[in-house]
Amino acid sequence: MEICDGCGTHIQSGETRYIVHMTITADDAQTVSPVTDEEMEEIIARFESANSIDLEQQVYSERSFILCARCKQRFMQNPLGKGSRDPFEEDGLSGPLH
Ligand SMILES: [Zn+2]
């Protein structure tokens, strides 16, 4: 049994679960390959001048999430979490404000 990273719901073994694999790459990292020897020296110098772990995280990061069907749908509709409103409440079913 696994837990949804979106809502914390337990996902039963028979239930569909979705794995979201995110790869975030800094745009300037695209120039890393192919490189000339001069460019490689420059890249190595950049790595040596910075904390390599920090730099690695800045240039490239990867994460995986397990989502239930409901959270997967929500993620597809709003992958960046824009806005503060819960998209499930936008269908007019929520009651009037007191
Ligand atoms: Zn969920």
Specify the range with the lowest mean pLDDT, choosing from 12-16, 25-29, 65-69.
Answer: 25-29
In a domain, 89, yes or no: no
For the stretch 19-42, pLDDT in tens is 999 888 887 755 555 667 787 787
Q: What is the pTM of this model?
A: 0.53
Q: Is the pLDDT of residue 11 over 60?
A: yes
Quick one: pLDDT at residue 96? 58
In a domain, 57, yes or no: yes
**Gap from CA of 68 to ligand 1 centroid (Å):** 4
Distance separating alpha carbons of residues 82 and 68, to the nearest angstrom: 20
**Gap from CA of 22 to ligand 1 centroid (Å):** 17
Specify the range with the lowest mean pLDDT, choosing from 31-35, 46-50, 69-73.
Answer: 31-35
**Gap from CA of 64 to ligand 1 centroid (Å):** 14
- Say which amino acid occupies 45: A
**Gap from CA of 9 to ligand 1 centroid (Å):** 6
In a domain, 94, yes or no: no
**Gap from CA of 57 to ligand 1 centroid (Å):** 27
**Gap from CA of 83 to ligand 1 centroid (Å):** 19
**Gap from CA of 77 to ligand 1 centroid (Å):** 14
Distance separating alpha carbons of residues 74 and 87, to the nearest angstrom: 7
In a domain, 86, yes or no: no
Q: 67 is in which domain, residue-wise?
A: 2-75
74 near 20, Cβ under 8 Å? no
In a domain, 96, yes or no: no
In a domain, 56, yes or no: yes
In a domain, 33, yes or no: yes
In a domain, 97, yes or no: no
